[in-house]
Structure 1
Amino acid sequence: MLAQRVGLGPFRAVSSSKMLSPTQFNVRFKMPLQHRTLASIAAAAGSTGERDSAVLHRSLKTPPMLVVSARERYLTFSDGHEILDSTCGAAVACIGSHNERVKKAMIEQIDKFSYCNSMFFGHPIGEELCAELIRGTDGAMAKAYIMCSGSEAMDSAMKMARQYFTEISPKENKRVNFIAREGSYHGTTIGGLSMSGHVARRSLFLDMLLPNIHRVSACNPYRGMTKGQTTEKYVAQLADELDRKFQEVGPDTVCAFVAEPVVGATLGCVPSVKGYFKAMKAVCDKYGALLILDEVMSGMGRTGTLHAWQQEGVVPDIQTLAKGLGGGYAPIAGMLINHRVADALKSGTGANISASAFSHGHTYQGHPVSCAAALEVQRIIKEDNLLTNVKERGELLTSLLHKHLDDHPYVGNIRGRGLFWGTKHPFPPSFGVANLVHTIGLKDQGISLYPGTGTQDGINGDHVLLAPAYTSTVEEIEKIALKTKLTIDQAFEKLQETHGRVD
């Protein structure tokens, strides 16, 4: 299944179903002395396996390819193989690699100081970054809180929502529940994973996860709308479902409804339909609950506006962001709170008065070097007018993907806002379609296609994502679109050789 996102700085997906081991590139070749140590490690890993690596890799059976350099939108591996990174890693490297301005900003901050204890001190670069983030919301949000990862941001958002209610009134102390959606992904910590609806990532830890997370259907018209149903009726159906869930859980026990404006990792770039978030917010307002929007993947320009909610006609009470914030130059994530939440924190009157403080903290909270990197990335996005580039390149990629894949027998439902994709119907998991597409793209076509599975029911259904850099050229977008088609063609030719007909 291929899913697409229009208007973003390239964000895309394609789907299939079985997982294949990544192809290893381990050709040995001579290189300058300064690179030989890394090359020998890579060769050893490729030829003798995991036992030679001290790293606990994602797989203990198949060591990964080693990246030895990156420049702009291209990655080079230890064997000299090069790819166009058409997914920005995991939708992270939004302005490409090796940007001199960002490097300079980080070095200048290191020359001043590289660490600051946030329990006692603040610093100018953090103030500048947070002010820039609030300006980017046109003042709709009030405060920013800086951490290191999207998972941390979701945990912080959950705690902030809970504390908000303890601050406004002792009567609200029983609000401990959250309502999230099926087919969602909100992080890998216990809190974030509890909030997530990602079946595979949750499965091993179900007995450890929080019991106070409840679920409603995703806004996924491809899977959820019935034949002949209008968008308005579909939105009303989902709003009614959320309302009934509030009633079932206890409307005065719910802290917040949590959702991704565009679902990324789990469903493969699924945006909401028109009017959906306005309807969901109305239900939250009816019961006094908060709206938390997770923009870790879809935010900071990826959809063509700095924040995806700026296209939805709503303002969240709490927002998480991460990937496009620092562009991969340093670990960084953030949580934004609106004025309603900030005011409650400042003048708490509840049973757990916090002395105007958020009862939370991290050692590396607001790390100065990460803040310097993120601030410069955001300045580049603004000064180089990259949001316009995102929209234009997103429209181009959308049109080219339609041109190349609309008539493809194994590609249906081209959907999204900027660049995200998924397939016509789920293939048997044994076929390993998504990972096969990823492997062929990497090895034979020199592009990155981010694989995922479980888009139909958590187990069946596959997709691959495209999330090109905001700085992508017209030529690169044309190359990505064509190579995506060639990769899919090649993958299904291989599947037919192995399995016969696959439809």
Structure 2
Amino acid sequence: MAAATEPPKISSSPPENPENHQSVSAVLHRTLKSAPPQVLSANGKYVSFSDGSRILDTTCGAGVACIGYNDKRVREAMINQIDKFSYCNSMFFGHPIGEQLATELIHGTDGVMSKAYIMCSGSEAMEAAMKMARQYYMEVSPPQPQRVNFIAREGSYHGTTLGSLSMSGHVARRSLFTDMLLSNIGRVSACNAYRGMVEGQTVEEYVQQLADELDRKFQQMGPDTVCAFVAEPVVGATLGCVPAVPGYFKAMGEVCRKYGALLILDEVMSGMGRCGTLHVWQQEDVQPDIQTIAKGLGGGYASIAGMLINHRIADALKGGTGTFSHGHTYQGHPIACAAALEVQRIIRTENLVTNVRKTGHQLGALLHEYLDPHPQVGNVRGKGLFWGIEFVADKATKEPFPRSANIANLIHVKGMKLGISLYPGVGTMDGILGDHILLAPAYTSTPKEIKEISLKVKEVVYKTFEELPFITTS
């Protein structure tokens, strides 16, 4: 008879101490080729790492930590909610903190929007927006069941789930999953003045060109089959803070109305004060039917995102089934709502959006002053405290660097060494080629800090290119 095999011994303590930053990790990080720096603490605008280094977080992480880290007021609001209850089954129940947050959010739109739907991520918000757009056309009288298509833009990013990735136009992020993505989404050009406008073309002519392109796409897909046109008012990580030219969204909205389609604006990264108004569309002479929000909503204190719908959409549901055919276990999470409500109250009572507008003008002016002369800086663009810098091998032709040059990441790494965070991005030109970095400082930034940030960015950019063997200066 075979001897019994002893079960493996299980250690009573974890094999690794994360603070030691050892190479073996049980976490599925973004890359398994190397271990990421380990954050030990964050306070105000600074983040400290296990190797003893510290950076001024000039990107608020991924454009998230808009009021800084470790704000005691937000922490207290979250604890107070935990002391009451930490979870609520939204299938059957509501709660006061969710009602208060929704009221705060609708008030911030000056009553243009009607209802708020709270989830955990921007990707979830876009999925909800897509389903809401479709359901709207099934709720109106008479129903329009043929409306199943969407139109989105090249170079966009709307999320990482299959539906939201289908909506996205970023080549690299879609590439592994192309055969799995939805086929009911048409694509039109981004509004990118640096890459899209031709020499001698006026802004008005460029807007008309893009409006005509959208009109043709409606005709191609079938005008009465399109649910909505989807766009980011300022394209964030994929193109590097590219704002629309004046008049663009008004023109796009007119095309949508011509064919009875909805306008969905994705303000996950650019919204909630980041660009100098609480919502970017408040600067654009346009009002969305559906809007997605996230990052600046909760400031990183909790996982939270939202979808806002206007009165047109809400009235259709109310007059129809009265129910949104969608749901998440953690939607409207009480602790997340408490965090976001306090963040939004701080932004409102401390007039931080006004500060974003003022310091944003300063940041833009300084970046132009310091970086426009550099031979490898092709374009500096942005709005509020949301700025991008695109790098080129040839300034005259706008030719990008080859991917092998790894420009954006080299600048990010140099920035970390010199004490700031610079968010890198590639595929700026066509989804594959092109490099940029973006800046998204905290809403609480002072003029002194903005000057410090601008000088540090200048130092990082100049030093990075000075150290590249294939760059020659003349």
Listed as ranges, the matches of 1:158-307 within 5 Å are: 158-307=130-279
Give how far 1:184 is off.
0.2
Q: Which residue of 1 aligns with 2:103?
A: 131
Q: Which residue of 1 aligns with 2:332?
A: 366
Query: Does the 8 A contact of 2:266 with 2:291 survive in 1?
Result: yes
CA distance, structure 1, for counterparts of residue 421 and residue 101 of structure 2: 31
Listed as ranges, the matches of 1:324-335 within 5 Å are: 324-335=296-307
CA distance, structure 2, for counterparts of residue 130 and residue 38 of structure 1: 44
Query: Does the 8 A contact of 1:154 with 1:320 survive in 2?
Result: yes
Q: Which residue of 1 aligns with 2:79?
A: 107
Moved beyond 3 Å, runs of 4+: 37-40, 500-503
Give how far 1:255 is off.
0.2
Q: Which residue of 2 aligns with 1:346?
A: 318
CA distance, structure 2, for counterparts of residue 401 and residue 199 of structure 1: 29
What are the Cα deviations for residues 231-280 of structure 1, in whole angstroms up to 9, with x where unaligned?
Answer: 00110010000000000000010000000000001110000001000000
Give how far 1:172 is off.
0.6
The reply to whether residue 420 of structure 1 matches residue 387 of structure 2 is yes
Q: Which residue of 1 aligns with 2:429?
A: 456
Q: Which residue of 1 aligns with 2:94?
A: 122
Query: Does the 8 A contact of 1:295 with 1:319 survive in 2?
Result: yes
CA distance, structure 1, for counterparts of residue 180 and residue 229 of structure 2: 22
Query: Does the 8 A contact of 1:219 with 1:273 survive in 2?
Result: yes
Distance 1:307 1:251, change over 3 A: same
Listed as ranges, the matches of 1:137-156 within 5 Å are: 137-156=109-128
Query: Does the 8 A contact of 1:198 with 1:266 survive in 2?
Result: yes
Which 5+ residue runs of structure 1 have no aligned equivalent?
1-36, 349-354
CA distance, structure 1, for counterparts of residue 335 and residue 28 of structure 2: 26
CA distance, structure 2, for counterparts of residue 502 and residue 310 of structure 1: 44
Give how far 1:41 is off.
2.6
SS in 1 for 2:265: strand
CA distance, structure 1, for counterparts of residue 121 and residue 194 of structure 2: 31
Distance 1:194 1:78, change over 3 A: same
RMSD (Å) for aligned C-alpha atoms: 1.4
CA distance, structure 1, for counterparts of residue 237 and residue 225 of structure 2: 29
Query: Does the 8 A contact of 1:42 with 1:65 survive in 2?
Result: no
Distance 1:502 1:213, change over 3 A: farther
Query: Does the 8 A contact of 1:68 with 1:78 survive in 2?
Result: yes
Amino acid at match of 2:87: Y
SS in 2 for 1:159: helix
Q: Which residue of 2 aligns with 1:19?
A: none
Distance 1:167 1:437, change over 3 A: same
Which 5+ residue runs of structure 2 have no aligned equivalent?
1-13, 393-397
Q: Which residue of 1 aligns with 2:406?
A: 432
CA distance, structure 1, for counterparts of residue 473 and residue 158 of structure 2: 33
Q: Select the residue among 70, 74, 84 that pairs with 2:42.
A: 70
The reply to whether residue 391 of structure 1 matches residue 357 of structure 2 is yes
The normalised TM-score by structure 1 is 0.88
Query: Does the 8 A contact of 1:38 with 1:78 survive in 2?
Result: no
CA distance, structure 2, for counterparts of residue 197 and residue 474 of structure 1: 36
CA distance, structure 2, for counterparts of residue 196 and residue 210 of structure 1: 11
Q: Which residue of 1 aligns with 2:64?
A: 92
Give how far 1:44 is off.
4.5
CA distance, structure 1, for counterparts of residue 454 and residue 245 of structure 2: 25
Amino acid at match of 1:501: T
Give how far 1:150 is off.
0.2
Higher relative contact order (CA 8 A, sep 6+): 1
SS in 2 for 1:142: strand
Query: Does the 8 A contact of 2:277 with 2:353 survive in 1?
Result: yes
Query: Does the 8 A contact of 2:364 with 2:382 survive in 1?
Result: no
Q: How many residues align?
A: 453
What are the Cα deviations for residues 98-137 of structure 1, in whole angstroms up to 9, with x where unaligned?
Answer: 0011000000000000000000000000000000000000
